[in-house]
Structure 1
Amino acid sequence: MTRAIMIQGAGSNVGKSLIVAGLARAFSRRGMSVAPFKPQNMSNNAAVTADGGEIGRAQALQARAAGRDAVSDMNPVLLKPETDTGAQVIVQGKLFTTLRAGDYGKAKGSLLPKVLQSYHRIASSADLVLVEGAGSPAEINLRAGDIANMGFAEAAGVPVVLIGDIDRGGVIAQLVGTHTVLSEADRKKISAFMINKFRGDIELFDEGLRQISKRTGWASLGVLPWFQDAWRLPAEDIMDIRSRMSGNMKVAVPRLGRLANFDDLDPLKAEPGLSVEIVEPGRALPGDAALVMLPGSKSTIADLEQFRAQGWDIDLAAHVRRGGHVLGLCGGYQMLGREIRDPKGIEGHQGSYPGLGLLDVTTEMHPEKQLSRVDAVYTDTGDSLYGYEIHLGRTEGPDCARAWLTIDGRQEGAASSDGRIRGCYLHGIFAADGFRATYLAELGMAGSGLNYEAGVDETLDAMADHLEKWVDLDRLLALAAPVPTAS
């Protein structure tokens, strides 16, 4: 019999995704077949699935924690913001449409049948489904047609555990306030609550737990202390991207407005002796960086305009004159070329836009999205690596003759004549230990011997241990409800 429980948050970024990943690892270690599920996610940090679709990267990590491959049904609706008011809508792994926020608000309810279809397919292969909400159920202005939180819980008959974040303060108000604004029917869907990110003496919050339970009627599952190693896991959200200064060699990464697929940074941050500096708008690119990395972008042309508006194009040119290296990945690769052509207005207005001119290539936008997992070879040394492609557009030009990756016999990427400026469409390449060590050695950094993937699994185990110690997982499991057979 398959059971399910839903983890919702009293706000955004309270730690839901990490808790679900930890629960997936904890219950799978108990011998259960566990599957993650998120009805609706909003993120430009996507993962390519085994069935050739795309889902939020957090669900891919949760699938890994559960010991299974990621598939599109684990996140049937993915919103990928392109502007402040509009986003691509990915349904069951494929591009469905592009909508403004107001139009999506009216249309989201119509996606519930697809969401439930995916949910039941996932449930058919698991003993336990861990469902993750999005944002907060207290956003009652979004309740009509909701598929992300209480709307899904109601339609699927899944009980809810509510997470509060004590680190940002006011956690009692978060939880009690959520209880106050919810309808009576939605309140009854919440079976218990949990406090996350506590620092200090947990006993000092005993009275807080009693007051929350008294005012809501919800049971407490415990208080989870701050998990120090969370940074070792792939970042889910742009809010999670932080500089990590741990060595003398520096990689500088400008924070673009539509930064996408920034998991490329995670293995670099894990390297001892390497500092990764996220350069915020309003600051110059640092003059002491060995490498400037231009990461992926959901809106390449808009981010290129922002890059210039910040004066980063001038900083980058100075970096190159000093002998520095530059790496552009996906959208960053497109920016490095001479021109970006968008004849169909895929990213907004039709037209051609000058690139940064550091690579002799030209990109033309096309509506067909390239989605694939690939194995590749670093042409210079023969190092094997792996990654994924997820992009619109094709890039061609003389510098592509110096492609530095080989994928199934085809050449990928481009490089300047001196090799210091490179670009490619392949994400995730730095997770391969051998290639990462080789590339950093070319910048002058000695190898550390870091096994990145093993470190991710060790951290997932540590998170599972953390939950086993501080949270009543037996009670949480007992709260999970049977999943009815799909009609």
Structure 2
Amino acid sequence: MTARVLMVQGCTSDAGKSALVTALCRWAHRRGLRVAPFKPQNMALNSAVTVDGGEIGRAQAVQAQACGLAPQVDFNPVLLKPNSDTGAQVIVHGHAVANMGARDYHDYKRLAFDAVMASHQRLAANYEAIVVEGAGSPAEINLRDRDIANMGYAEAVDCPVILIADIDRGGVFAHLVGTLALLSASERARVVGFVINRFRGDIALLQPGLDWLERETGKPVIGVLPYLHGLYLEAEDALPREPASKPQARVRVAVPALPRISNHTDFDALRAHPQVDLQLIGPGEALPACDVIVLPGSKSTRADLAWLRAQGWDAALARHLRYGGKVIGICGGLQMLGRAVHDPHGIEGDPGSSEGLGWLDLETTLQPGKQLHRVQGRLGFAEAAVQGYEIHCGVSRGPALAHPFAQLDDGRHDGALSADGQLLGSYLHGLFDHPEALRALLVWAGLRDAAALDVHALREASIDRLADAVQSHLDTATLERWLGMNACVP
């Protein structure tokens, strides 16, 4: 068996590729097709741990959920996690192979493409269809040489490509026509149609533009997707586009938007909770009055710790704690709350040590070999279940760990709770996602009557809304033909 392959590429980053692939995966899955998601190369600091013990982009984990599958490393064989403006940790088949500068990675792409094709071949042999997400834009002509993320992959497997553009940002026709113009003749022929995303307004007023686009390019518009407000989907990498309005909020949470913030999807459950107002605080912004400060994960803990100090967050944290506020540190944030962070091997930058914020009596040493675990257990301070995943190189030791944040089912303890109950630290990403843990943490923060919230159900409902939009607004007969669904359509 060889799977049908359909690829979604975008005119820009954040054009809606991830959402459209998620929508197509759920739509096809509901129709009875055995479908898998795929992203050959991803650059993102939001990642997930797979059932086969590796690490992939979070967007591909959500797309796997849309297909009714557990996340696997083959769904995203190459993941780049930036640790500077010109370098990244390179993860192949779920495991880090090296830190590389942009030029070194360009040379490495030949090996990376072998990994991409190996994963593709395994998926093609085990599924009826593969829905593929490109990266950035295929029109980035400086990246065309040795491309493995967009048309380089599409040409290698000879698959059709849908081009998606975001009309909400303006210039949608220029984006589509300009992208086509910058493709080679064979690549241009591979584009089988357009999807326009995030439209709001009267479709009749858009129709003349759609007619012109089809005449000008000879390509069909497969459909126009509406702007769907209130979707609960984890971002691939970008910070949230829309601040949540929470006039009824009773707990206020502030999170510093670190330069190398990782897995900021940890806070999606808080953003979705009707009683919580969560604010990401950028550089130069004053810390607002809040009940809880959360120090997030970081791809470059020591560098982001220096940034926090330069922004005055050390003094702000001290003042916040002095007035009875609560603090949570997640992964890199936990490490920052300790007495020191050591990086003797230069895993996240230049070798060396940094003084921590000193609020928890522990020290962390970064070591080769990343810890990748999917875990569950019980909170150490409340009768509540917790689950999440670990992605870290740091090993923390110290007296603070004698009072753990959680007791894990695999026999290990996680994190720390300060003696005065004001500080929590944990290595668990996704710790707010379990309804029991979320409620217990909000009660700890002072919200005694915290409402229940099931984020898994929210995500499922959002994925279904996306699939419904495909059914209502795209040319499904054409999609069925491309995906070879004629035999399985009820």
Q: TM-score normalized by structure 2?
A: 0.96
> Within the alignment, does 1:337 sit opposite 2:350 as a pair?
no
State which drifts further: 369-378 or 206-215: 206-215
On the 8 A contact 1:199/1:226 being kept in 2, the answer is: yes
Alpha-carbon offset, residue 20 of structure 1: 0.7
Task: Report the equivalent of 1:99.
Answer: 100
2:45 aligns to what SS in structure 1? coil
Describe how 1:298-313 pairs up with structure 2 within 5 A.
Answer: 298-313=299-314
Task: Report the equivalent of 1:244.
Answer: 244
Alpha-carbon offset, residue 224 of structure 1: 0.7
Task: Report the equivalent of 1:466.
Answer: 469
Mapped to 2, the partners of 1:451 and 1:393 lie a distance apart of 31
Mapped to 2, the partners of 1:285 and 1:244 lie a distance apart of 17
Which amino acid in 2 is paired with 1:244? Answer: A
Identity %: 48
1:163 aligns to what SS in structure 2? strand
Describe how 1:32-71 pairs up with structure 2 within 5 A.
Answer: 32-71=33-72
Which amino acid in 2 is paired with 1:298? Answer: K
Which amino acid in 2 is paired with 1:396? Answer: R
2:369 aligns to what SS in structure 1? coil
Alpha-carbon offset, residue 242 of structure 1: 5.1
2:386 aligns to what SS in structure 1? strand
2:107 aligns to what SS in structure 1? helix
Which one of the candidate residues 471, 476, 481 is aligned to 2:479?
A: 476
Mapped to 1, the partners of 2:133 and 2:256 lie a distance apart of 31
On the 8 A contact 2:113/2:148 being kept in 1, the answer is: yes
Mapped to 2, the partners of 1:416 and 1:441 lie a distance apart of 17
CA separation of 1:184 and 1:17: change in aligned 2, threshold 3 A: same
On the 8 A contact 1:437/1:447 being kept in 2, the answer is: yes
Mapped to 2, the partners of 1:212 and 1:96 lie a distance apart of 44
Alpha-carbon offset, residue 474 of structure 1: 2.1
Task: Report the equivalent of 2:269.
Answer: 267
Alpha-carbon offset, residue 479 of structure 1: 2.7
Mapped to 2, the partners of 1:34 and 1:276 lie a distance apart of 36
On the 8 A contact 1:5/1:481 being kept in 2, the answer is: no
> Within the alignment, does 1:192 sit opposite 2:198 as a pair?
no
On the 8 A contact 2:299/2:348 being kept in 1, the answer is: no
Task: Report the equivalent of 1:372.
Answer: 373
On the 8 A contact 1:304/1:335 being kept in 2, the answer is: yes
Mapped to 2, the partners of 1:239 and 1:40 lie a distance apart of 20
On the 8 A contact 2:373/2:390 being kept in 1, the answer is: yes
Task: Report the equivalent of 2:220.
Answer: 219
On the 8 A contact 1:245/1:277 being kept in 2, the answer is: no
Task: Report the equivalent of 1:23.
Answer: 24
Which amino acid in 2 is paired with 1:293? Answer: V
Describe how 1:16-415 pairs up with structure 2 within 5 A.
Answer: 16-230=17-231, 232-240=232-240, 243-246=243-246, 247-286=249-288, 288-407=289-408, 408-415=410-417
Which amino acid in 2 is paired with 1:463? Answer: L
CA deviation vs aligned residue, 1:226-265 (integer Å, no higher than 9, x gap): 01122x1222213436542421311100000001012210
On the 8 A contact 2:79/2:90 being kept in 1, the answer is: yes
On the 8 A contact 2:300/2:349 being kept in 1, the answer is: no
Mapped to 2, the partners of 1:458 and 1:190 lie a distance apart of 31
2:432 aligns to what SS in structure 1? helix
Which amino acid in 1 is paired with 2:92? Answer: V
Mapped to 2, the partners of 1:7 and 1:421 lie a distance apart of 44
Mapped to 2, the partners of 1:127 and 1:99 lie a distance apart of 36
Mapped to 2, the partners of 1:237 and 1:124 lie a distance apart of 30
1:238 aligns to what SS in structure 2? coil
> Within the alignment, does 1:455 sit opposite 2:429 as a pair?
no
Which amino acid in 2 is paired with 1:468? Answer: Q
Which amino acid in 1 is paired with 2:126? Answer: S
Task: Report the equivalent of 2:488.
Answer: none
CA deviation vs aligned residue, 1:109-147 (integer Å, no higher than 9, x gap): 332121111011112221111011000011111111000
Alpha-carbon offset, residue 381 of structure 1: 2.3
Mapped to 1, the partners of 2:339 and 2:297 lie a distance apart of 17
2:368 aligns to what SS in structure 1? coil
On the 8 A contact 1:191/1:479 being kept in 2, the answer is: no
Which amino acid in 2 is paired with 1:237? Answer: D
State which drifts further: 103-112 or 151-160: 103-112
CA deviation vs aligned residue, 1:154-179 (integer Å, no higher than 9, x gap): 00111100001111110100000011
Mapped to 2, the partners of 1:79 and 1:291 lie a distance apart of 31
State which drifts further: 258-267 or 238-247: 238-247
Mapped to 2, the partners of 1:253 and 1:20 lie a distance apart of 30
Which amino acid in 1 is paired with 2:482? Answer: L
On the 8 A contact 1:35/1:123 being kept in 2, the answer is: no
CA deviation vs aligned residue, 1:316-367 (integer Å, no higher than 9, x gap): 1111111000000000000011111122222222222111111111111111
- Report the aligned-residue RMSD: 1.4
Mapped to 2, the partners of 1:210 and 1:8 lie a distance apart of 22
On the 8 A contact 2:36/2:129 being kept in 1, the answer is: yes
Mapped to 1, the partners of 2:387 and 2:211 lie a distance apart of 50
On the 8 A contact 2:4/2:482 being kept in 1, the answer is: no
| Structure 2 residue ranges without an equivalent (≥5) | 486-490
Which amino acid in 2 is paired with 1:235? Answer: A
On the 8 A contact 1:48/1:373 being kept in 2, the answer is: yes
CA deviation vs aligned residue, 1:279-326 (integer Å, no higher than 9, x gap): 11111221x211000110000001101111111111111111110000
Task: Report the equivalent of 1:485.
Answer: none
Which amino acid in 2 is paired with 1:460? Answer: I
Alpha-carbon offset, residue 476 of structure 1: 2.1
Alpha-carbon offset, residue 43 of structure 1: 0.3
Mapped to 2, the partners of 1:298 and 1:461 lie a distance apart of 32
Alpha-carbon offset, residue 30 of structure 1: 0.7
Alpha-carbon offset, residue 428 of structure 1: 0.8
Task: Report the equivalent of 2:14.
Answer: 13
Mapped to 1, the partners of 2:235 and 2:351 lie a distance apart of 34
Alpha-carbon offset, residue 481 of structure 1: 7.4
On the 8 A contact 2:330/2:426 being kept in 1, the answer is: yes
CA separation of 1:254 and 1:242: change in aligned 2, threshold 3 A: farther
Task: Report the equivalent of 2:430.
Answer: 428
CA separation of 1:464 and 1:63: change in aligned 2, threshold 3 A: same
Alpha-carbon offset, residue 96 of structure 1: 1.6
State which drifts further: 345-354 or 383-392: 345-354
Q: TM-score normalized by structure 1?
A: 0.96
Equivalent residues, number: 480
CA separation of 1:241 and 1:83: change in aligned 2, threshold 3 A: farther
Mapped to 1, the partners of 2:347 and 2:21 lie a distance apart of 36
